[in-house]
């Protein structure tokens, strides 16, 4: 296996650090528009080399794949670059993985009721071509989406006879010393998913609702405790129902009231926009300016304290015919990830899952063709290997 890793930011650098300890691949080309970042991520292992790439150019991705005889392209950049990387991998005859899918576009007339272009629609539109070519695009294989989707497959196969709701729930008790506001993940991506109309799967169809709707308090495990969670647009809702029967699928994120108010303010001021405006004769994207003004999430690790939790709350009827409510989860303590890998817990938790998936593909435990989500594969080998990586998952029974 020869991997092209596109993106050497927080998640990409963490991916490289995790993969460096494994032996399932022959080579990793770490590519970024910033060659210095790529070189730092590729250092200290002769199997890794650095390269510069324009992730917005499918031909540039294709050329780099061909230059290095790449078999698998790992996309670790913002979702605005999904389609050129996806198309560049296909043109090169390489398999493809990502952690976020092609962007959505709200319904022009009823954005909070009806779906427009959904997350991943552009990728699923060419699924038959990928399958006909015998190539695999494994989409949404980070932590959320990703591990949460693996949990959905596990719940359907081993815990539940019928599923009422697959409810992804994400929460943390993280703090960042010295900052009143410092997102632990890409603010560009956070704005995109939090201010777009959230999608809900219900009774056989997708519909939308208002951002931050249906607040609920969820009690997260391992000392994190109660966190208010709200509806947010996310890929799980678009992926899970394609492979797992359920009456309802939701994604709720524990943002906190302060974070929500900041996002609402950015929206009111137009600072969430991606189209460029002219300032002093220079064209700039307001959202890019916001991202540039905030601290780099990859550099916050030494200042962070606490834990992050990603998980899936499943309700329905258990295999024994009785009502069941189960939370399947994965918790990472920032102190552990910093001490063990030198990367903060949110980016580390995101990055470990595609490394596990690539190892399963390299060993032939997972295989497939077409555009597939994690739900299309056996969950048990994934969860066993994640535990073998030193980061076990958990299961908590809740009152039905």
Condensed to tens digits (0 to 9), the pLDDT of residues 370-381 reads: 999 999 999 999
Query: So what's the pLDDT on residue 184?
Result: 66
Specify if 124 maps to a domain: no
Tell me the CATH number at 26. 3.40.50.720
- What single string gives the DSSP state of each residue in 377-400? S-HHHHHHHHHHTT---EEEEE--
Report if residue 385 sits inside a domain.
no
Read off the pLDDT of residues 133-184 as tens digits, 9 standing for 90 and up.
999 999 999 999 999 999 999 999 999 999 999 999 999 999 888 777 767 6
pTM across the whole model: 0.93
pLDDT for 336: 97
Output 219 or 273, whichever has higher pLDDT. 219
Q: What is the 3-state secondary structure (H, E, C) of 291-336?
A: HHHCCCHHHCHHHEECEEEEEEEEEEEECCCCEEEEEEEEEEEHHH
Q: In this model, does residue 185 exceed pLDDT 70?
A: no
Domain range enclosing 309: 147-348+391-398
Residues 6+ apart with CB under 8 A from 116: 104, 105, 106, 107, 108
From the list 56, 117, 42, 49, the residue with the least C-alpha distance to 86 is: 56
- Say what the pLDDT of residue 98 is: 98
**Is 83's pLDDT higher than 70?**
yes
Percentage of the chain exceeding pLDDT 90 = 81
Asked if 79 and 158 sit in the same domain, the reply is no
Instruction: Looking at the structure, tell me whether residues 93 and 202 fall in a common domain.
Output: no
What is the structure's pLDDT at 263?
Answer: 82
Min mean pLDDT across 78-82, 152-156, 295-299, 325-329 is at 295-299
Has residue 90 been placed in a domain? yes
- Asked whether residue 248 falls in the same domain as residue 328, the answer is yes
Burial of 128 per CB tally in 10 Å (0-12, 13-18, 19+) = exposed
Backbone region of residue 379 per phi and psi (left: phi > 0; alpha: psi in -120 to 50; beta: other values): alpha
Same domain flag for 164 and 60: no
Q: How far is 353 from 361, CA to CA, in rounded Å?
A: 12
Q: Which of 62, 77, 98 finishes a domain?
A: 98
Residue 108 lies in a domain: no
Residue 198 sits in the same domain as residue 342: yes
Provide φ and ψ at 306, rounded to 5°.
Answer: 120, -165
Of 98, 132, 156, which residue sits at a domain end? 98
264's CB contacts (< 8 A; 6+ apart) are none
Is the confidence at residue 264, as pLDDT, over 90? Answer: no
Per the DSSP assignment, residues forming a β-bridge with 249 are: 166, 201
What's the whole-number mean pLDDT along residues 202-217?
94
55 and 154 co-located in one domain = no
- Average pLDDT of the chain, as a whole number: 94
pLDDT of 237 over the 90 cut: yes
Q: CATH number for the domain including 204?
A: 3.30.360.10
Which pLDDT tens digit goes with each residue over 195-209?
Answer: 889 999 999 999 999
Q: What is the pLDDT of residue 267?
A: 84
- Find the mean pLDDT for residues 349-371: 98
Q: pLDDT value at position 384?
A: 98
Average pLDDT for 294-322: 90
Residues 205 and 73 in one domain: no
Q: What pLDDT is attached to residue 86?
A: 98
Whether residue 311 sits in one domain with residue 167:
yes
Model pLDDT for residues 61-74, shown as the tens digit of each residue: 999 999 999 999 99
Helix then strand then coil, % of the chain, to nearest 5: 35, 30, 35
Token pair for residue 271?
């600072």
| Number of domains present in the structure of the chain | 2
């Amino acid at each position: 296996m020869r991997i092209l890793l596109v993106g050497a930011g927080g998640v990409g650098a963490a991916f490289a650090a995790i993969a460096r300890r494994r032996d399932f691949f022959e080579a990793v080309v770490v590519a970024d528009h910033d060659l210095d970042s790529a070189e730092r991520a590729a250092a200290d292992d002769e199997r890794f080399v650095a390269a510069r790439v324009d992730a917005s150019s499918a031909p540039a991705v294709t050329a780099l794949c061909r230059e290095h005889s790449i078999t698998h392209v790992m996309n670790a950049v913002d979702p605005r670059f999904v389609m050129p990387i996806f198309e560049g991998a296909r043109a090169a005859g390489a398999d493809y993985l990502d952690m976020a899918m092609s962007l959505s576009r709200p319904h022009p007339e009823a954005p909070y009721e009806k779906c427009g272009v959904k997350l991943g629609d552009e990728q699923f539109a060419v699924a038959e071509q990928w399958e006909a070519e015998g190539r695999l695009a494994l989409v949404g294989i980070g932590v959320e989406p990703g591990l949460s989707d693996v949990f959905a497959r596990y719940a359907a196969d081993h815990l539940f006879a019928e599923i009422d709701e697959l409810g992804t729930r994400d929460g943390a008790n993280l703090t960042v010393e010295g900052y009143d506001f410092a997102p632990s993940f890409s603010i560009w991506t956070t704005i995109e998913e939090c201010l777009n109309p959230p999608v809900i799967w219900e009774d056989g169809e997708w519909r939308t609702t208002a951002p931050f709707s249906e607040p609920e308090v969820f009690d997260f495990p391992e000392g994190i405790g109660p966190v208010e969670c709200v509806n947010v647009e996310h890929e799980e809702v678009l992926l899970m129902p394609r492979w797992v029967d359920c009456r309802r699928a939701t994604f709720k994120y524990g943002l906190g009231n302060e974070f929500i108010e900041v996002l609402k303010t950015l929206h009111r001021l137009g600072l969430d926009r991606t189209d460029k405006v002219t300032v002093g004769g220079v064209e700039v994207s307001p959202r890019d300016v916001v991202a540039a003004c905030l601290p780099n999430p990859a550099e916050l690790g030494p200042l962070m304290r606490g834990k992050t939790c990603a998980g899936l709350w499943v309700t329905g009827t258990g295999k024994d015919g009785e009502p069941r409510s189960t939370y399947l989860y994965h918790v990472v303590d920032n102190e552990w990830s910093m001490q063990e890998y030198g990367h903060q817990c949110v980016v580390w938790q995101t990055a470990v899952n595609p490394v596990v998936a690539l190892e399963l593909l390299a060993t032939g435990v997972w295989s497939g063709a077409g555009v597939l989500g994690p739900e299309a594969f056996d969950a048990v080998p994934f969860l066993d290997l994640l535990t073998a990586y030193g980061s076990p998952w958990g299961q908590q029974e809740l009152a039905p």
